[in-house]
């Protein structure tokens, strides 16, 4: 609903923060993307806002996985063997 | 892509395609490889649905059983990972529902409080800069803890998309495949979820 407004006018900050996800997901049409980037170029606050969302995503991506222990490995091999037995 | 198993179909460029053929021909190492590859992600995803780590372990185990049982019917219309995670999400959803928690936070999180903008939509109370802290080891560690908690506390649907997209790093297309939602729907949920997590980081790091 905001897109038709954007087609005619420049993006203001309150609209810019709503466009961040579409921008990062590559879902903004080219013209809207250009308007968004033009806004960023002149607005340090929205630039920081975008950087914060990027930081949030980066931190989420670093939440570390747990490794498989030898015991768990044996359990899974067992699970697989049982499946093979039942399946054949 | 997998000439040794000509009857096998997998989605184009599926990195797990070759493992499928080995799995079907009885190679247990292929199964271990697959488990090693996805179990950590599956545990984190399952933990979002059930009250304890023990239950999450059970859900994951159950998903692997479902995966093996379905192996002969798998037609490769999606990637192995998408299919596996879809099995997991369905089991996790029915295993333990944290609906009480879901109700605690409104699904209608605002991106940024409208009081922080003036009548023309420009910042009145702009964000205090803290994004640089992500490069600081100590601060980043604290952030990781906060982000983990913040994501766990999101409404269920937002939590699902943020977990799959941002923690597990699945592509948008894959997330849509796992959760069986549209692209537009995904972006709405992702937008709300990320906004909420950023707000929580801001409340910790963004004080002037």
Reduced to 3 states, what is the DSSP secondary structure of residue B117?
Answer: strand
Residue B121 lies in a domain: yes
CA B42 vs CA B71, B85, B141, B187: distances in Å: 18, 7, 23, 22
Q: In 3-state terms, chain B is what percent helix, strand and coil (to 5)?
A: 65, 0, 35
Q: Which of B32, B117, B197 sits opposite A13 (nearest CB)?
A: B117
State whether ipTM is beyond 0.85.
no
Give residue A68's pLDDT: 56
In this predicted structure, the answer to whether residue B89 has a pLDDT above a threshold of 70 is yes
**Residue ranges making up the domain that contains A42:** 3-63
Give the residue from chain B lying closest to A54, CA to CA: B131
Give residue B105's pLDDT: 46
**CATH code of the domain in which B55 resides:** 1.10.1740.10
Residues of chain B contacting residue A56, judged by C-beta atoms under 8 Å apart:
147, 166, 194, 197-198, 201
Give residue B50's pLDDT: 86
Buried b (16+ CB within 10 A) or exposed e, A37-66: eebbeebebbbbbbbbbbbbbbbbeebeee
Overall average pLDDT of the B79-107 stretch: 75
Higher pLDDT, B121 or A68: B121
User: What is the nearest CA distance from B137 to chain A, expressed in angstroms?
Assistant: 11
For A56-78, how does the pLDDT look when each residue is reduced to its tens digit (9 = 90+)? 999 998 876 555 566 667 777 88
Domain count, chain B: 2
Last residue in a domain, options B95, B118, B150 = B95
Residue B81 lies in a domain: yes
Q: Is the CB of residue B178 less than 8 Å from the CB of residue B46?
A: no
C-alpha closest to that of A19 among B143, A38, B202: A38
Residues of chain B contacting residue A48, judged by C-beta atoms under 8 Å apart:
126-127, 129, 131
**CATH code of the domain in which A51 resides:** 1.10.10
CA distance A64 to A75: 23
Residues of chain B contacting residue A9, judged by C-beta atoms under 8 Å apart:
none
Q: Which of B72, B167, B187 sits opposite A21 (nearest CB)?
A: B187
Residue B55 lies in a domain: yes
List chain A residues with pLDDT less than 70: 1-9, 64-72, 87-88
B64 token code pair: 């692997």
Give residue A25's pLDDT: 96
In this predicted structure, the answer to whether residue B104 has a pLDDT above a threshold of 60 is no
Domain count, chain A: 1
The mean pLDDT value of chain B amounts to 85
Four-residue CA torsion sign, A76, B36, B68, B50: positive
Co-location of B125 and B27 in the same domain:
no
Q: pLDDT band at B54, cuts 50/70/90? A: confident
CB-based contact, A62 to chain B, within 8 Å = yes
Last residue in a domain, options B45, B75, B95 = B95
Residue B12 lies in a domain: no
| This prediction's pTM | 0.78
Q: Is the CB of residue B2 less than 8 Å from the CB of residue B8?
A: yes
Give residue B5's pLDDT: 35
**B120/A83 Cβ within 8 A:** no
* DSSP one-letter string for B141-173: HHHHHHHHHHHHTS-HHHHHHHIIIIIS---HH
Least confident of B10-19, B96-105, B193-202: B96-105
Residues of chain A contacting residue B40, judged by C-beta atoms under 8 Å apart:
65-67
CA distance B156 to B102: 6
CA distance A84 to A88: 6
**CATH code of the domain in which B126 resides:** 1.10.10.10
A47 token code pair: 């630039």
What percent of chain B has pLDDT above 70?
A: 87
């Amino acid at each position: 609903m905001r897109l038709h407004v954007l087609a005619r006018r420049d993006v203001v900050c309150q609209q810019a923060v709503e466009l961040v996800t579409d921008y990062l997901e590559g879902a903004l049409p080219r013209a809207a993307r250009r308007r968004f980037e033009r806004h960023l170029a002149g607005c340090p606050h929205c630039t920081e806002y975008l950087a914060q969302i990027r930081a949030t995503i980066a931190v989420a991506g670093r939440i570390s996985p747990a490794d498989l222990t030898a015991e768990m490995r044996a359990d899974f091999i067992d699970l697989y063997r049982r499946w093979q037995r039942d399946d054949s | 892509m997998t000439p040794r198993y000509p009857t096998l179909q997998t989605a184009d460029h599926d990195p797990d395609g070759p493992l499928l053929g080995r799995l079907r021909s009885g190679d247990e190492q292929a199964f271990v490889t697959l488990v090693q590859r996805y179990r950590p992600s599956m545990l984190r995803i399952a933990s979002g649905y059930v009250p304890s780590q023990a239950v999450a372990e059970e859900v994951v185990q159950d998903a692997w059983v479902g995966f093996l049982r379905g192996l002969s019917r798998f037609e490769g219309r999606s990637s192995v990972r998408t299919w596996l995670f879809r099995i997991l999400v369905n089991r996790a959803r029915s295993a333990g529902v944290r609906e009480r928690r879901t109700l605690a936070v409104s699904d209608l999180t605002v991106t940024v409080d409208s009081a922080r903008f003036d009548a023309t939509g420009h910042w009145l109370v702009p964000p205090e800069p803290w994004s640089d802290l992500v490069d600081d080891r100590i601060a980043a560690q604290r952030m990781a803890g906060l982000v983990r908690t913040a994501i766990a506390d999101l409404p269920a649907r937002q939590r699902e998309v943020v977990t799959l997209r941002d923690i597990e790093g699945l592509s948008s297309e894959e997330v849509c495949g796992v959760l069986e939602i549209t692209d537009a729907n995904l972006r709405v949920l992702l937008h709300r979820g990320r906004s909420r997590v950023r707000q929580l980081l801001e409340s910790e790091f963004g004080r002037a």
